[in-house]
Every structure is written in structure tokens, then in C-alpha cells.
Structure 1
């Protein structure tokens, strides 16, 4: 089932331009922060992780935080006004649930804004300090974000996607796929990188313990 819109989709609107500009600015701030706070000798994987986590935190707090505010204190996106309300109204063209304060979506966003956002900041602090314990928390964060994405879309798929409009490339490939798939591939890569660090450290510790027993 596909929801029909009363107006033909516009490929690029003023809201789209402002939203993309805001995302680009957030990415610039994240990259600038990485260059200012991380040592020059930091390996590229950790620099990338810092930029992503800083970007991730700001998206959670600014964009998703505004959705959570509008959906709790403002009742819903569709009944609210302002720049953030317009941003989310644009997204609701592809996924109707974000405009009506769907309980499942709001519940997931509570965990995202109040849980994942602060955890991103904590991992950033660990990255700056060079604390290897960050790898555990990266796995926790990435698992939570993958689960959040699954629970956002799996109920729709199982019920025939009644709230999703995939009738054109803009909605399907930009709003639904591109704006969500990066929160799948990057967390998976982060988990893989952190798993390698944890596994190597544990094997080295086991080897050192075996050597000390022989001595």
C-alpha cells in the first residue's frame, strides 16, 4: 500500500536546501573538531570514527531532538510550526509516521536522543584521551543504532509498508534509503574495527599470561 500525496513531489525545495546546508555545516564542524582535538599521529580509522561520532551526536541532539520535542511538547510534527517542523514535514512525505507522533518511532527516538547522543559524546572524550576502552562502548552504541534502525522499518515491512511512500525516486532513494542506510554501514564498520582491537588485545593478554606461567 502506498500513500498518495495531494501534490506532485518536488525534487528540490527551499526546505531541502536549508536541511542539506545544515547537515553540511554539522559535517564541517565535526571535521574541524577532529583536526583540533586529535593528535596529528592519530590513525585514519580513529579520525574517521571521531568525525562520524561528532556528526552523529549533533544529528541526534539537533535534528532528532527537535522531532522528539515536537512529538511530545508540541503533540506532533504535523500540528507544529517553525523551521524544524518544516524539515520533518518534508520527511513525512516519505514516512507518514514521523508526522503523527507514532508511539514506536517516538519511543526509539527517546533512546536515541537521551541515550545514543550522550554516549557519542563520551566516546569522543575517550578518543581524545586515547582510551582503548572506547572500543567496548563503540560496539554498544553501534548495536543500539542498528537495532533502532531495524525496529523503525521492520514493522513496516511486515505489514506491507502502509506508511511509506516509495512511489518516486526522491522518496525512496533519498529520504528513505540514503538518509537511513549510513546508520547501517558505518556502525557495522565501527563494530568490525573495534572487534579487531578487542580480539587482538585479548589474544595478546592470553599470550602474555601463558609466557608468565612458563617463567
Structure 2
């Protein structure tokens, strides 16, 4: 008797994850080509992440926004990107039907976070300390976006999440979302240290000048 359970891994799964890996590889090789050798390891990995982040927002998530705002949905759309998003929508049904909360968050993500991520990567390459302010801004936005994506589901018993499939639960829902929590928190911690140290140093210098 044939099973009706969804396949754990499909061709679309492979294509989707390969696309994500390619975005990460672009970030890595861009860091090798554009960053000075003496750069801190924290800045190197921040550059790789932000480049990856910007590419994902401006390609993969932009395609979702296209399917969800031009009178169609992922479930009714055609083309390879629609197929990729239908794969993810099998894990979180809201992405297949253009849920208004998800679409609203993606508008901010595509048009705000995507360009900002690439701009901050440019600031890192230029060794502009102003990047630390923008890192805090984008990290806060990423954390808020993740919270507003999943908190409504948790409060209502997660009716739109498919958790019985290993790939859907642990790769699509958990891993592909938790990295947008852990990494922004790490970036905020590093930038907080930089900003706080710089401000305290300036404050101490000002106090010394006033005392003279």
C-alpha cells in the first residue's frame, strides 16, 4: 500500500538548498576578494553573512513578493521560483497563499533589509565604523521579523506549520529561521561592544580635557 506521507527530500529541495549554498559561497569569495588581510575575524564573518543575507532577500524573497503581490500566489504561480516556494509552503502553509502579515514583513525585508545588508557589507570593506550603528538596526529588524512571523503561529497552536516531516521541521522551519536569530544577536553583541567602548573612550577624553 502506497504511503501518502510527503517525501523527505525532493529535487526541488536539492535545488533550493543549492541556491542557498551558492549565496553563501558568493559571500565567502567576495570576502576573500574585497576585504583587507588584517581585518578582524568578526568583521570577515559579518561581511559574509550580510552579503548572503542581502542576496537571499533580493532574489529568493523578492520572488516570493512578486508572486504574492501581482494578483497571484505561490500556489497558483508558475516557474521554477514558484516551485521552490511551494516546497517551503509545504512546511509553512501561509507562504503559499500570500498571508498578509507575511507579505507585509517581506515588503520591509526586500526593500529595506536587503539593500541595507549589502550597504553594510560595503561599509565593512571600507572599514567605516558607522557600520556598527546600521548592524544594530538591521539585526533588530531581522529579529523582529522572525518574531512576528512565528509568534502568531505559536499563540494559536501553529495551525499552518507542518512538523511531521524531518526536512520541513528541522531544515526549513528550524535551521533556515534560527540562523536569522543567532547571527543577528551575535552581530548586535559585537557592535554594542564597539559602540560602547568608543563612547566611553570619548567620554573619558572629554572629562580629562575639562579637568585640565
TM-score by shorter chain over 0.5:
yes
Task: Name which of structure 1's ranges 53-62 and 205-214 shifts more when overlaid on structure 2.
Answer: 205-214
SS in 2 for 1:10: coil
**In the TM superposition, what is the alpha-carbon distance from 1:200 to its structure 2 partner?**
0.3
Please, which of 169, 192, 209 is the counterpart of residue 166 of structure 2? 169
Q: Give the equivalent residue in structure 2 for 1:52.
A: 49
DSSP 3-state at the match of 1:126: helix
CA distance in structure 2 between the partners assigned to 1:115 and 1:7 by the alignment: 41
Specify the alignment match of 2:75 in structure 1.
78
Q: CA deviation at 1:186?
A: 0.1
Q: Tell me, which stretches of 5 or more residues in structure 2 are unaligned?
A: none
Pairwise CA RMSD:
1.1
Q: Give the structure, 1 or 2, with the largest relative contact order (CA under 8 Å, sep 6 or more).
A: 1
The equivalent residue for 2:22 is: 25
Matching residue of 1:69:
66
Q: How does 1:164-203 map to 2 (within 5 A)?
A: 164-203=161-200
User: CA–CA distance in 2 between the matches of 1:57 and 1:205?
Assistant: 33
TM-score, normalising length: structure 1? 0.95
Cα contact 2:8–2:165 (8 A) shared by 1: no
CA distance, structure 2, for counterparts of residue 12 and residue 107 of structure 1: 30
Asked whether the equivalents of residues 77 and 89 of structure 1 are also in contact (C-alpha less than 8 Å), the reply is: yes
Corresponding residue number in structure 1 for 2:110: 113
1:10 aligns with 2:7: yes
- The one-character-per-residue Cα deviations of 1:14-36 (angstroms, maximum 9, x if unpaired) are 11111111111111111111111
How far apart are the structure 1 equivalents of 2:15 and 2:173?
19
Q: Who is 1:131 aligned against? A: 128
Q: Which runs of 4+ in 1 moved over 3 A?
A: none
Q: Distance in 1 between matches of 2:163 and 2:122?
A: 40
1:151 partnered with 2:145: no
Is 1:38–1:128's contact at 8 Å kept on the other side of the alignment?
Answer: yes
2: CA distance, partners of 1:203 / 1:193:
16
**Structure 1 position 74, deviation (Å):** 5.0
